[in-house]
Amino acid sequence: MGLNLRRDRYAGCLVGKALGDALGFLVEGRSPKDCQHFVDRFLLSERVFKFQKGPFSFGQYSDDTQLARELMQSFVLCKGFNASDFGKRVARIFTEELIVGRGRATWNAAKRLASGVPADKAGEPAPAAGNGSAMRAAVVGLFFAEDLPQVATVARVQGEVTHKDRRASAGAIAMAVGSALLLNKDTVDADAFVAEVASHCESTDQDFSASLLKLREWIRLPTSEAVQLIQKEGKDPDYKETWWGISPFVTGSVLWAYYSFLRHPRNYMGTVKEAIAVGGDVDTTAAMAGALSGAFLGLNAIPEDYRNTLNDQGVWTLTDLVTLSERCFDLVHS
Ligand SMILES: [Mg+2]
């Protein structure tokens, strides 16, 4: 594959994540009915550009992309992964109150980091297994070209800065290895792809890896059946669910992101619509699904009128995200 094509895929991964996040953010936590309505009636119409959420205009992305961006920026400026620098960035974005839509475990870790706890000791202990470390991990797939063991190690270590649970680590590895593999693929054989990603998660958490392998069957099911299985996967049978749709539990959210991508591997907006329409923690599921799709299809597969609106409280717009991804590409391919 030509280097220009791969450069386009680096930008696709970060921008694909940001746009999935920004679109899901508009209906985060809403019911499946509301989310389906949003997807059917608004998402592909001009009316969607008028949507706002609180003080935020259309195009605002949330913590998922903010923290992925900080992780990538840290990698570029430190010329390699530096847990301590990343930890400082996590602390700062919380203490300066720039974070948009915070997760509880990441917030707790940020408070510890801000009080001087080192990055390797700050993570929220098990059994907190939310998707906070997986939601930012797809960009780690861009850090090491084809060195997948290194991708998996850094995915785990960056994850532990906020989440210590093994399932959270395995979810982060799944997102990072997935994007790393997709950067180099021209076609996706879903069964082989899922098996390869799962093999990199196995030594960290066998149960997570086994859950991921079930996707080989589940991607053949229609949305309404697949979501029933995926939202329960990895949870205790007696667990009392308090979320609509896909909850922030790491296993279900990562599986739902993969399902959404693998059902529409050649269609970025199809992937994002699939992720959002079932409701729940949809900024994160759409961010993760969008990152996989963007890593495979590249920046130009992401609709221009939508991606042009991206911003974080008026700064870190599309141009800044693309520039950051290009700096990362240049560092890795120098
Ligand atoms: Mg979010």
pLDDT of residue 110: 97
Specify the pLDDT at position 272.
Answer: 98
Residue 124's SS3 state is strand
Given the structure tokens 């997935």, which residue do they identify? 178
Residue 1 has pLDDT above 80, yes or no: no
Unique residue bearing structure tokens 């900024």: 283
The CA 315 to ligand 1 mean position distance, Å, reads 17
pLDDT, residue 170, reads 98
Residues 6 or more apart in contact with residue 101 via CB below 8 angstroms: 25, 28, 62, 63, 283
* Domain range list for the chain: 3-46+60-332
46 pLDDT higher than 80: yes
Superfamily of domain 3-46+60-332: ADP-ribosylation/Crystallin J1 (1.10.4080.10)
| Band (29; pLDDT cuts 50, 70, 90) | confident
**CA dist., res. 107 & res. 132, Å (int):** 10
282 Cα to the center of ligand 1, angstroms: 8
As a whole number, mean pLDDT of residues 274-284 equals: 97
Q: Which residues surround ligand 1, an ion (CB under 5 A)?
A: 62-64, 101, 283
- What is the model's pLDDT at position 236? 84
Q: What is the DSSP string of 45-61?
A: SGGGGG--BTTBPTTB-
What pLDDT does residue 3 have?
80
Cα(2) to centroid(ligand 1), Å: 34
> How far, in Å, from the CA of 35 to the mean position of ligand 1?
16
Total residue count of the chain as it appears in this document: 334
Say what the pLDDT of residue 123 is: 97
Q: What is the pLDDT of residue 2?
A: 80
63 Cα–ligand 1 center, Å: 5
Exposed, middle or buried, 304 (CB in 10 Å: 0-12/13-18/19+)?
A: exposed
Q: Which of 187, 194, 179 is nearest to 138 (CA)?
A: 179
- Rounded Cα gap, residues 21 and 113, in angstroms: 25
Q: Match 């992937």 to its residue by tokens.
A: 271
Q: 14 C-alpha vs ligand 1 centroid, how far in Å?
A: 15
For 116, the 3-state DSSP assignment is: coil
Query: What angle do the packed helices 166-182 and 206-218 form, to 10 degrees?
Result: 50
Ligand 1 centre distance from Cα of residue 143 (Å): 23
324 C-alpha vs ligand 1 centroid, how far in Å? Answer: 20
pLDDT reported for residue 116: 97
The mean pLDDT of 133-141, rounded to a whole number, is 98
Q: Is the pLDDT of residue 269 over 90?
A: yes
CA distance 77 to 85: 10
Question: Do residues 226 and 219 touch, judged by C-beta distance below 8 A?
Answer: yes
Tell me which DSSP letter residue 303 carries: -
Mean local confidence (pLDDT), 206-223: 98
> 24: CA distance to ligand 1 center in Å?
8
The CA 62 to ligand 1 mean position distance, Å, reads 4
Per the CB < 8 A criterion, the answer to whether 318 and 308 are in contact is yes
pLDDT of residue 4: 80
Question: What distance in angstroms lies between residue 57's CA and the mean position of ligand 1's atoms?
Answer: 15
CA of 68 to the centre of ligand 1 (A): 11
Distance 155 CA to ligand 1 centre (A): 19
Distance 249 CA to ligand 1 centre (A): 13
> How many angstroms is it from 21 CA to the middle of ligand 1?
7
Whether cis (ω within 30° of 0) applies to the bond prior to 32 is no
Tell me what the pLDDT averaged over the chain comes to: 96
Q: If you measure from the C-alpha of residue 102 to the centroid of ligand 1, how many angstroms do you get, rounded to a whole number?
A: 7
- C-beta separation of 137 from 162 below 8 A: no
* pTM (two decimals): 0.97
Q: How far apart are CA 280 and CA 311, in angstroms?
A: 23
CA distance 21 to 54: 16
Query: What's residue 162's pLDDT?
Result: 98
What is the H or E stretch that residue 148 is in?
helix 148-160
On whether the CB atoms of residues 272 and 306 are closer than 8 A, the answer is no
In this predicted structure, what is the pLDDT of residue 105?
A: 95
CA 116 to ligand 1 centroid distance, Å: 25
Distance 334 CA to ligand 1 centre (A): 33
